[in-house]
Structure 1
Amino acid sequence: MSAVLEAAISEFAAIDSVVARSHEAQAAYAAARHAVRSALLRGLADALERDAAPLIALADEETSLGAGRLNGELARTAFQLRGFADRLDAGIAARIVDNAAVAGAPPAGRPHLTRMFAPLGPVAMFSASNFPFAFSVLGGDTASALAAGCVVIIKPHSGHPELSRRVHALAAGVLREQGLPEGVIGFVDQASREAAVRLVSHPDVGAVAFTGSYQGGVALWKAANARACPIPFYGELGSVNPLVVTPQALAQEVETPAATLAASIALGCGQFCTSPGVIVVRDDGTGTRFVEALARSLAAQRTHAMLTPAMHCGFEKATEHIAAQPGVVTRLAAQAGSAAGHPPTPRLFEIDAQSFVANAALHEEMFGPAALVVRARHDADVLDVLTAVEGTLTVTLWGAEADTAANRALAAVAQRIAGRVLFRGVPTGVAVCDAQQHGGPWPASTQPQTTSVGYAAIERFLRPVALQDAPPWAIDANHGGATV
């Protein structure tokens, strides 16, 4: 037997073992009182905060994201863990619709029906590269799945492996302290692509949460749907996040909005899923001054090393691909010393609206500090550009404050292609709250009717079940009334 085959067999066996422990823990955890789940979430938040200093130092060492950014992200992670706990206590997972029996024949007559929600089962959670806390081991996917009553099997990202191990060890300690099975939060350490497919394909896995590349996400999405019993695959696959700068937005000046936008493009070295990558500006004198100001501001931004050498290589290839397209003008080019392991230089490109619409290669994400300016002659051009994008996490509309037919048309198209439409500010920075929507039409995500950020994320991992003429114990057992 070859060494490669032996390694694969060993890796698959390890995955099967982790899934078996999670499967064993699922029934008891799903039947736990909601107070048990909320106590776990609060305990995880407390553990993160207790070890914040060493965790931040380790995260910075592995990601180069900086202590300021990482402190804020850890705080957000603890905040959303406690937020889900608060909403569990308020009954978010205990919602029922109860229709009393009505005597007589159908359609007026009916039996007693109680509609409630049951956990989907073990959730395979694939950590993201760009948020080592908030979209990782104890991030939003884990928090929402645990709140729903689903145990979680974590596949960490290779960009921050030691941090992931450390955070999982903290989580394991909290499980022990609270007397919960270790399988409630499983961990598949540094699985290969083949092993990741094995995890998604395992018959005891009930759903998948994924944040990452389009190619990797589509491969796993296909595996989830190729199973004998397909399962929900909640994937966030990337986004170009168009930002429309209307003439009204530049009526006073161009420097301040240009500086604001440049900071958003370069934030986190452009490694945000909501980083504005397509900037739609009018093809006139004011638009030209804005683009010039944007290039100056972007050139002045300080970047840091990207998350991994492979990610930096991908960024360079993506920007080279855009630069090589017919009609593209390079406003801000790569500079010397931009190799993997060093901070990349920001890039800015420009194209006319008609060429953008006609060339699908220009609609692809450049994951890093880069953007493509699209020059539009009139309102119809802007609508055509947005329509060509197809699916995106966000669309930002600067200067669309007035109630006009043009702005209504613009907002309608934006809402058709995006999960979140902004009328002010920049898309980077996703608030964790009840009204948030983080997910858009394909290819931004695989399930645009759901969100991966905010407290509505719990709905992904709950399946509606109607109980007919059920005795009280059956309703109570499915309503958070039992204990582990």
Structure 2
Amino acid sequence: MNGNNIVACNYVTVDGKSFKGLAPSTGLQLEGDFTVADEATVNSALAAATDAYKVYKNIGKAKKAEFLRAIATEIAALGETLINRAVAESGLPAGRITGEMGRTTGQLRMFADMVEEGSWVDAVIDTALPERAPLPKPDLRRMLTAIGPVVVFGASNFPLAFSVAGGDTASALAAGCPVVVKVHPAHPGTSAMVGGAICKAAADTGMPAGVFSLLYDTGYSVGEQLVKHPQTKAVAFTGSFNGGMALIKLAQQRTALIPVFTEMGSINPVVFLPEIIQNQPKEMAAKYAASITLGAGQFCTNPGLMLAIKSPGLDTFVQEIAKAIETVPSATMLTEGIWKNYQKLSEGITAKNGITLVAESKAISSELVNQSTAKILTVTAADFLANPKLREEIFGPLSLLVIADSPQQLEAVAASLEGQLTVTIMAEKTELAQYSDLVDILSSITGRLILNGVPTGVEVCAAMQHGGPFPASSDSRYTSVGTAAIYRFVRPLAWQDWDDTLLPAELQHANPLNIWRQVNNQWTKD
């Protein structure tokens, strides 16, 4: 575990400030010193990334796939050493980190398969019609190409799957873009190990050294420099609304604008329709108590808001979820800062007029620090509509139940909500038709509409959409999870009237890569 910054897969020494990782469960320092990057390091990393881009974007699909699979192999080889460090730095249980390692290596291999097959470049060919009157039609061929060096910000709540070799890095590398990672200061040791694994994979597979760099900082200076640097061509971030908006505003100060893909959280409303809450109040309560408290509520898909129409079934649901929440043991939150913010916001909302605290967890560890307290609160729909602050995310194991007097008031609450990553509808199938207007409202504000499930848990696959209308993310057309995440880091480029031998292989007449292409409006491999 080397605590120096990595520039073009070489460790560089920086004179100046260093820091140590902290164990959030105890507040004690962990082994290792990590050096804060300076402006020269930032410049060197992006210069190397720019040079590498000229080579890496043109490396064949089989070699890129080999690189991605090699990264997965190297990460898996770190085994318990990596898992133990990630547990120590995050406070998350070993089982969760083990699963996250599997997700990280799995998505790298998934992108490798996608790149190796090759059809993702969306090749489109319209052949020439030189005899067309009154003007001849040119030969036009278009495909997606890598956008350039990408800056990735590590996320606090996923030390592996959304950090150094997470989905942002994997999709950018798959697209043909070199990556510069700004490490999240909450897990520097974990990041150092994974960064070393990427560089070993790059060396073993013959990648240009500048394909990857990794930089440390405890504040905002390095991140600001990276976003504003003229050689940065795109930015990927998963975190808070304030953090995401700060990066967007920095990018707007640039002379040349670039895309900043931010996933900024969500309250992920869950709507309980009357029949299912009447028929299954206990089952619904057990399911949602578990979802709200999973990982101390530190998921961007945590169900922070529940909506329902008052009824005897809802009364039973509230009683049952209260019992479940009271017995949930405390869990270590990711950082002291996250814990303090949760304490402030959860206590602040509980003190507001109109809010009723229904239950909170009672089994709080006295031996550990930064411990979460799960809470369930209720509010009338009228009070919720009158107070916009109640629609803001509280990152942690808290959920607010909004109780409406009628279906019409339930629709009004739904219409008042901003963009979300997920919306869940819990319903008997027979009652959905009666709420078609409500379903339409909910569909318009979310990236993923779930029926009779829980929002926590994001499947990594081709059909996944993890991103929604603002403020859930900065561009609802894209996802940060699944194979479609690659499309954030490419742009279309058309070639007009080029000789066949000079075209990229994806666009040549004989289709030497044997990929699917749209030729004269027909999908074919011919």
Q: Shift in Å at residue 103 of structure 1?
A: 3.3
Q: Equivalent of 1:28, from 55, 60, 68?
A: 55
2:332 aligned counterpart, secondary structure = coil
Residue aligning to 2:315: 288
1:394 aligns with 2:422: yes
Residue aligning to 2:378: 350
Alignment of 1:84-233 (within 5 A): 84-104=111-131, 109-190=136-217, 192-233=219-260
Change (3 A) 1:197 1:25: same
Change (3 A) 1:139 1:290: same
Q: Shift in Å at residue 46 of structure 1?
A: 0.9
Change (3 A) 1:194 1:106: farther
Alignment of 1:262-341 (within 5 A): 262-333=289-360, 341=369
Residue aligning to 1:42: 69
Change (3 A) 1:451 1:360: same
Q: Shift in Å at residue 302 of structure 1?
A: 2.5
- Per-residue deviation, residues 295-340 of structure 1 (Å, max 9, x unmatched): 1112222331100000000101111221132211111247696899
Q: Is the 8 A contact 2:153 2:183 kept in 1?
A: yes
Q: Shift in Å at residue 104 of structure 1?
A: 4.8
Change (3 A) 1:435 1:106: farther
Letter of the aligned partner of 1:464 in structure 2?
A: P
Q: Equivalent of 1:423, from 451, 454, 473?
A: 451
1:381 aligns with 2:409: yes
Q: Is the 8 A contact 1:439 1:447 kept in 2?
A: yes
- Per-residue deviation, residues 65-123 of structure 1 (Å, max 9, x unmatched): 11111111110111111011111112144320000112356788521111111111000
- TM-score when normalising by structure 2: 0.87
Q: Shift in Å at residue 253 of structure 1?
A: 2.9
Q: Equivalent of 2:477, from 445, 449, 452?
A: 449
Structure 1 residues 52-61 or 298-307, which shifts more?
Answer: 298-307
Distance 1:444 1:419 in 2: 9
- Per-residue deviation, residues 376-416 of structure 1 (Å, max 9, x unmatched): 12222222222212111000000052375433222211110
Structure 1 residues without counterparts, runs of 5 or longer: none
2:38 aligned counterpart, secondary structure = helix
Distance 1:253 1:21 in 2: 59
Letter of the aligned partner of 1:29 in structure 2?
A: Y
Distance 2:251 2:160 in 1: 26
Distance 2:50 2:466 in 1: 29
- Per-residue deviation, residues 147-188 of structure 1 (Å, max 9, x unmatched): 100011111111111100111011111111112122111111
2:267 aligned counterpart, secondary structure = coil
- Per-residue deviation, residues 240-261 of structure 1 (Å, max 9, x unmatched): 0000111121232311210110
Change (3 A) 1:282 1:34: same
Residue aligning to 1:67: 94
Q: Equivalent of 2:393, from 345, 365, 385?
A: 365
Distance 1:354 1:106 in 2: 66
Q: Is the 8 A contact 2:226 2:232 kept in 1?
A: yes
Q: Equivalent of 1:76, from 103, 116, 135?
A: 103
Q: Is the 8 A contact 1:40 1:175 kept in 2?
A: yes
Aligned residues: 478
Distance 1:108 1:353 in 2: 64
Distance 1:152 1:220 in 2: 17
Q: Is the 8 A contact 1:400 1:407 kept in 2?
A: no
Relative to total residues, which structure has the larger helix share, 1 or 2? Answer: 1
Structure 1 residues 216-225 or 330-339, which shifts more?
Answer: 330-339
Q: Is the 8 A contact 1:144 1:458 kept in 2?
A: yes
Distance 1:69 1:336 in 2: 21
Identical aligned residues as a percent = 38
Residue aligning to 1:433: 461
Letter of the aligned partner of 1:277 in structure 2?
A: G
Residue aligning to 1:459: 487
Q: Shift in Å at residue 6 of structure 1?
A: 8.1
Q: Shift in Å at residue 18 of structure 1?
A: 1.2
Change (3 A) 1:404 1:160: closer
Structure 2 residues without counterparts, runs of 5 or longer: 1-14, 18-34, 514-526
Distance 1:9 1:292 in 2: 51
Letter of the aligned partner of 2:105 in structure 1?
A: A
Q: Shift in Å at residue 450 of structure 1?
A: 0.3
Distance 2:264 2:243 in 1: 8
Distance 1:41 1:106 in 2: 49
Distance 2:380 2:156 in 1: 33
Residue aligning to 1:245: 272
Distance 2:504 2:203 in 1: 27
Residue aligning to 1:52: 79
2:504 aligned counterpart, secondary structure = helix
Q: Is the 8 A contact 1:357 1:388 kept in 2?
A: yes
Q: Is the 8 A contact 2:125 2:507 kept in 1?
A: no
Q: Shift in Å at residue 478 of structure 1?
A: 6.9
- TM-score when normalising by structure 1: 0.94
Residue aligning to 1:261: 288
Q: Is the 8 A contact 1:400 1:423 kept in 2?
A: no
1:449 aligned counterpart, secondary structure = coil
Q: Shift in Å at residue 475 of structure 1?
A: 2.2
Distance 2:442 2:133 in 1: 44
Q: Is the 8 A contact 2:181 2:214 kept in 1?
A: yes
1:125 aligned counterpart, secondary structure = strand
